[in-house]
Amino acid sequence: MSRPTSGVTETGGAAALLQTRGLSRHFRLGGLLSRRMLHAVDDLDLTIHEREIVALVGESGSGKTTVARLLAMIYPPTRGEIRYRGRSVHKLRSRKDLLWYRGEVPMVFQDPYSAMNPVFRVAHGVMRNLKLHRPELDRAGRREEAERVFDIVGLNPAGDMLRKFPYEMSGGQRQRVGFAQALAVQPKLILADEPVSMLDVSIRAGILNMMAGLRAEEGASILYITHDIASARYVADRIVVMYAGHAVEQGPTDVVLSRPKHPYTQLLLSAVPDPREKAVPVSADTGEPPQVIDPGEGCRFRQRCAYAIDTCATVTPALRPMGPAHDAACHVAEAEPEPVASVPQRRVDTRV
Amino acid sequence: MPEPLLDVDTLSVSYLTDDAKIGAVDRVSLTVHPGEFLGIVGESGCGKSTLLFAIAQLLTPPAEITSGRVVFNGQDLVQLTDGELRHVRWRDYSVVMQSAMNALNPMKSIAAQFKDTMRAHERLSAAAIRTRSEEVLHLVGIDAAHLSSYPHQLSGGMRQRAMIAMALLFTPQLVIMDEPTSALDVVAQRSLMTQIKELQQQFGFAVIFVTHDMSVVAHYSDRVMVMYAGQVAEIGATDSIFARPLHPYSKGLLDAFPSVHGPRRALTGIPGSPPDLGRPPSGCRFHPRCSAAMAQCTTSEPDLYVVGDTQVRCLLYAEQLRDAV
């Protein structure tokens, strides 16, 4: 039941750092003999370029954390492929190759309170990473490097901070330690799974600014996973919206947010509180993303969608071009008229 | 002005440990009128949850109310015994806890937990309990079939709704909510807030709503109280605080979250972290993090100054008031 993906806009394949093709992950529910499968991620084509911040946005249960775990090789995909710098990630076998990939693509976890071992000082995690991934450094070199990355993430003075235990730090400081651990291995792509959702609003701004700084100064790409589309707008170049395991809309941040095509993106946008704006009266939508168990054909958003038509129940919508580099998977959405006409070459499907 | 439903008067709470006394809530006064929605905003560790627990008389040692009164419907709750409180608590005021994941008993079905709650406060027949449980679940938009569900079978949003249903079992006059939405994502948060507001308009109960995210209460509360380091930093009408925040801390909170619609601005946040309440800073407790701090902020402690219909604890306004005189 692979979805046709023809016609999807390619955004300059040359500088793609990481690319997924038809990435899917299903989980078996119940015992070994059970045939019920939960479809957490289905047919995801995701591209992340060098020095790019991509936001993966969706509600709880949309499959966004599963994507991060697939990319971090925490578990293998059920189907599909992840290509990193042209190499298929799940064909890497040797210890050297695996260390190489895990060093270039580290993950920062959602909950800074449980991501660190409480019996070790925070230096432990960073030093261990350095020992594993940067064997060329000697003891003093590792220490120097640890202090350097602590400085970058704003933990000053680095020497004192390295000697602290996790319980001596605030949530914001711990999340910075998480980023420092990732930075120590000279990453090319940081997988950040809801790095600010557990933090106070006043501390979030600091972490978001730090992420933008990491890209500018360290040249790292970031996959920023979040349910908060407002913070995605603040840091990301491109947004991919997920719903119930499918990517339903993707495109440049400003385009997606100013002209959202998918009804789900519109729902996400209307839910963001903004005290500078007048309240938009929205009826209480008590819907939630469905648990996708053994799905048939059809749009997974149709039960919550105000615009659903008969086709939505029978045909799974594929991502279609809506404008330059902007795609949405919706039968009802209409493409932007003039930009499509002005760049007809880019709409041609180059895939075999 | 009608009589307030709740009148908290110079309430202080301390955590007493062997070698220190930590003042978590420092001389807080506030009133809530019938049917009013009061938002309390502050960072983790500012004492907002302690304040709620003190109002609801749910503090356990080492926390202790050291001074002040909590007058609810003309009765000082601080003076009541446990037996007397039992007749007021949950029937006249109820509490929705922060994380429904931990507040619900994982071993019991929703129906059993509702039954326990009702039995604890009133003698009712099994049929009456069943009918009322179905009613309140229906109110929050959950199918009555879920009465036999266990908490793990419900999503985060549904658990939080079930907690709210539980708080409404006796149709109280005041519902106290401790960050009910902070574990939810934005869509669920928005729909829960809308639902709370609709229920409030339907039944006319008053709400005290605690959150760390100022934007959550913007469209729902009548008044907002900003707390910092155990004290009231600013309290006033929601509209005027959002249009013209007076305290530098309120301004910082408002500038800390990104907007989806307006122009893109650089976020500044608030540098540093909240002080250790065991050793609060001298003078104004906010001065180490304040961008507008002056020399006297380190030495003299500001009072609450009245500016318009807002009260604000900041020396900037002491100056202005003196100049105006």
A89 Cα to chain B: minimum distance (Å): 32
Question: How far apart are alpha carbons B135 and A241 in whole angstroms?
Answer: 37
Contact A233 B260 (CB under 8 A): yes
Question: How far apart are alpha carbons A6 and B221 in whole angstroms?
Answer: 49
Residues A182, A188, A194, A199, CA torsion sign:
positive
Per-residue pLDDT tens digits for A52-95: 999 999 887 788 889 999 999 988 999 999 999 988 998 888 98
A205 CB neighbours in chain B (<8 A) are 255-258, 267-269
pLDDT(B87) > 80 = yes
Question: How far apart are alpha carbons A302 and A291 in whole angstroms?
Answer: 14
For chain A, give the percent of residues with pLDDT over 90.
33
The predicted structure's pLDDT at residue A271: 80
**Are residues A220 and A269 located together in one domain of the fold?**
yes
The mean pLDDT of A1-22, rounded to a whole number, is 60
* Domain residue limits at B81: 6-92+170-272
pLDDT(A349) > 50 = no
B214 in contact with A, Cβ within 8 Å: yes
For chain A, give the percent of residues with pLDDT over 70.
87
* Pair B13, B54: CB distance under 8 Å: yes
The predicted structure's pLDDT at residue A247: 93
Residue B309 CB burial class (10 angstroms; 0-12, 13-18, ≥19): exposed
**Are residues A96 and A204 located together in one domain of the fold?**
yes
**Are residues A194 and A174 located together in one domain of the fold?**
no
Structure tokens at B111: 């129906």
Residues A273, A278, A280, A286, CA torsion sign:
positive
Give A329's pLDDT tier (boundaries 50, 70, 90). Answer: very high
Residue A309 lies in a domain: no
pLDDT(A242) > 90 = yes
Pick from B191, B212, B216: CB nearest A285: B191
B256 CB neighbours in chain A (<8 A) are 201-202, 204-205
Q: Could you tell me the CATH number of the domain that includes residue B205?
A: 3.40.50.300
Pick from B260, B268, B273: CB nearest A272: B260
A310 Cα to chain B: minimum distance (Å): 26
Residue A9 lies in a domain: no
**Are residues B111 and B259 located together in one domain of the fold?**
no
The predicted structure's pLDDT at residue B38: 93
The gap between the terminal CA atoms of chain B, to the nearest Å, is 28
Tally of structural domains, chain B: 2
Residue A158 lies in a domain: yes
Residue B179 lies in a domain: yes
Residue B302 lies in a domain: no
Q: Is A152 helix (H, G, I), strand (E, B) or coil?
A: helix
Closest CA to A266 of A330, A197, A314: A330
B259 CB neighbours in chain A (<8 A) are 230, 274, 276
A340 Cα to chain B: minimum distance (Å): 25
**Are residues A150 and A227 located together in one domain of the fold?**
no
A284 Cα to chain B: minimum distance (Å): 5
**Are residues A124 and A254 located together in one domain of the fold?**
no
**Are residues B247 and B197 located together in one domain of the fold?**
yes
- Of A112-121, A318-327, B100-109, B135-144, which gets the smallest average pLDDT? B100-109
B198 CB neighbours in chain A (<8 A) are 284
A306 Cα to chain B: minimum distance (Å): 16
The predicted structure's pLDDT at residue A282: 55
C-alpha to C-alpha distances, A19 to A45, A50, A81, A132, A328, nearest whole angstrom:
7, 11, 8, 26, 19
Question: How far apart are alpha carbons A299 and A239 in whole angstroms?
Answer: 20
Query: How far does Cα A138 stand from its chain's mean position?
Result: 34
Determine the Cα angle at A172 with ends B250 and A189, to 5°.
125
Structure tokens at B294: 């002056």
Structure tokens at A50: 């060098």
Structure tokens at B280: 């609060």
The mean pLDDT of B180-205, rounded to a whole number, is 82
Contact B194 A282 (CB under 8 A): yes
Residue A318 lies in a domain: no
The secondary element (H helix, E strand) that includes residue A104 is helix A95-104
B187 in contact with A, Cβ within 8 Å: yes
The predicted structure's pLDDT at residue A276: 64
pLDDT(A7) > 60 = no
Top pLDDT among B76 and A33 is at B76
Boundary of a domain, candidates B150, B166, B182: B166
Beta strands in B121-276 (DSSP E): 174-178, 206-211, 223-228, 231-237
Per-residue pLDDT tens digits for A97-135: 999 999 999 998 887 778 888 899 999 989 998 998 888
Contact B186 A288 (CB under 8 A): no
**Are residues A130 and A177 located together in one domain of the fold?**
yes
pLDDT(A42) > 50 = yes
Residue B324 lies in a domain: no
The secondary element (H helix, E strand) that includes residue B90 is none
Contact B141 A273 (CB under 8 A): no
Per-residue pLDDT tens digits for A255-283: 999 899 999 998 888 887 776 666 555 55
- Count of residues in chain A: 352
Beta strands in chain B (DSSP E): 6-16, 21-32, 37-41, 63-72, 75-76, 93-96, 174-178, 206-211, 223-228, 231-237, 305-307, 310-312
The predicted structure's pLDDT at residue A327: 92
Residue B288 lies in a domain: no
Contact A282 B190 (CB under 8 A): yes
Determine the Cα angle at A341 with ends A340 and A342, to 5°.
95
Boundary of a domain, candidates B166, B183, B206: B166
Q: What is the DSSP string of B240-256?
A: HHHHS--SHHHHHHHTS
Contact A273 B215 (CB under 8 A): yes
Give which of A201, A234, A256 to mutate to test B binding, by max B Cβ within 10 Å.
A201
Boundary of a domain, candidates B115, B141, B166: B166
B160 in contact with A, Cβ within 8 Å: no
Residue in B closest to A288 by C-alpha: B188
**Are residues B66 and B192 located together in one domain of the fold?**
yes
**Are residues B251 and B210 located together in one domain of the fold?**
yes
Contact A205 B269 (CB under 8 A): yes
Structure tokens at B14: 């301390």
Residue A82 lies in a domain: yes
Structure tokens at B86: 């039992």
DSSP tag of B121: H
Question: How far apart are alpha carbons A345 and A336 in whole angstroms?
Answer: 16
Contact A284 B214 (CB under 8 A): no
**Are residues B84 and B202 located together in one domain of the fold?**
yes
Residue A151 lies in a domain: yes
**Are residues A196 and A61 located together in one domain of the fold?**
yes
**Are residues B183 and B249 located together in one domain of the fold?**
yes
The predicted structure's pLDDT at residue A53: 94
**Are residues A165 and A72 located together in one domain of the fold?**
no
Residue A329: Cβ within 10 Å count: 26
pLDDT(A14) > 70 = no
For chain B, give the percent of residues with pLDDT over 90.
15
Residue A249 lies in a domain: yes
* Domain residue limits at A257: 16-30+37-106+187-277+284-298
**Are residues B212 and B240 located together in one domain of the fold?**
yes
* Pair B214, A201: CB distance under 8 Å: yes
Structure tokens at B35: 């049917």
Residue B15: Cβ within 10 Å count: 17
Which residues are within 8 A (CB) of A350 and not within 5 positions of it... i.e. 6 or more apart?
A10
Top pLDDT among A11 and B33 is at B33
* Residue A221 CB-half CA count within 13 A: 21
A227 Cα to chain B: minimum distance (Å): 6
User: Strand pairing of B93-96 and B174-178?
Assistant: parallel
Give residue ranges of A with CB < 8 Å to any B CB. Answer: 59-61, 170-173, 200-206, 208-209, 227-231, 233-234, 257, 267-277, 279, 282-286, 288
**Are residues A149 and A194 located together in one domain of the fold?**
no
The mean pLDDT of B63-80, rounded to a whole number, is 88
Per-residue pLDDT tens digits for B238-275: 888 888 889 999 888 888 877 777 777 788 778 777 78
**Are residues B153 and B184 located together in one domain of the fold?**
no
B47 CB neighbours in chain A (<8 A) are none
C-alpha to C-alpha distances, B255 to A57, A212, B55, B286, nearest whole angstrom:
23, 18, 30, 17
**Are residues B87 and B183 located together in one domain of the fold?**
yes
| Rg of chain A over all Cα atoms, to the nearest angstrom | 21
Determine the Cα angle at A65 with ends A61 and A66, to 5°.
90
Give B100's pLDDT tier (boundaries 50, 70, 90). Answer: low
**Are residues A217 and A272 located together in one domain of the fold?**
yes
Contact A288 B253 (CB under 8 A): no
For chain B, give the percent of residues with pLDDT over 70.
96
The predicted structure's pLDDT at residue B1: 59
* Pair B90, B172: CB distance under 8 Å: yes
Residue B279 lies in a domain: no
The mean pLDDT of B218-224, rounded to a whole number, is 88
pLDDT(A13) > 70 = no
Question: How far apart are alpha carbons B46 and B50 in whole angstroms?
Answer: 9
* Residue B31 CB-half CA count within 13 A: 11
Residue A69 lies in a domain: yes
Contact B258 A233 (CB under 8 A): yes
Question: How far apart are alpha carbons B254 and B245 in whole angstroms?
Answer: 8
The predicted structure's pLDDT at residue A285: 56
Residue in B closest to A59 by C-alpha: B185
Residue B28 CB burial class (10 angstroms; 0-12, 13-18, ≥19): buried
B272 Cα to chain A: minimum distance (Å): 9
The secondary element (H helix, E strand) that includes residue A239 is strand A238-243
Pick from B186, B254, B269: CB nearest A268: B186
Tally of structural domains, chain A: 2
**Are residues B78 and B14 located together in one domain of the fold?**
yes
Give A5's pLDDT tier (boundaries 50, 70, 90). Answer: very low
A209 Cα to chain B: minimum distance (Å): 8
Strand order in the sheet with B37-41: B93-96, B174-178, B206-211, B37-41, B223-228, B231-237, B310-312, B305-307
Which residues are within 8 A (CB) of A116 and not within 5 positions of it... i.e. 6 or more apart?
A122, A125, A166, A174, A177, A178
B250 Cα to chain A: minimum distance (Å): 11
* Pair B312, B233: CB distance under 8 Å: yes
User: Strand pairing of A87-88 and B174-178?
Assistant: unpaired
B44 CB neighbours in chain A (<8 A) are 171, 200
Question: How far apart are alpha carbons B282 and B302 in whole angstroms?
Answer: 11
**Are residues B156 and B176 located together in one domain of the fold?**
no
Give A222's pLDDT tier (boundaries 50, 70, 90). Answer: very high
Residue in A closest to B44 by C-alpha: A200
Residue B320 lies in a domain: no
Contact A275 B198 (CB under 8 A): no
**Are residues A98 and A193 located together in one domain of the fold?**
yes
**Are residues B88 and B110 located together in one domain of the fold?**
no
Give which of B140, B257, B286, B291 to mutate to test A binding, by max A Cβ within 10 Å.
B257
C-alpha to C-alpha distances, B238 to A63, A78, B275, nearest whole angstrom:
37, 51, 26
Question: How far apart are alpha carbons A249 and A330 in whole angstroms?
Answer: 9
Contact A275 B253 (CB under 8 A): no
A282 CB neighbours in chain B (<8 A) are 190-191, 194
**Are residues A168 and A71 located together in one domain of the fold?**
no
Q: Is B213 helix (H, G, I), strand (E, B) or coil?
A: coil
Per-residue pLDDT tens digits for B273-311: 778 787 888 888 988 888 888 888 888 888 888 888 889
Q: Could you tell me the CATH number of the domain that includes residue A218?
A: 3.40.50.300
Per-residue pLDDT tens digits for B72-82: 888 888 888 88
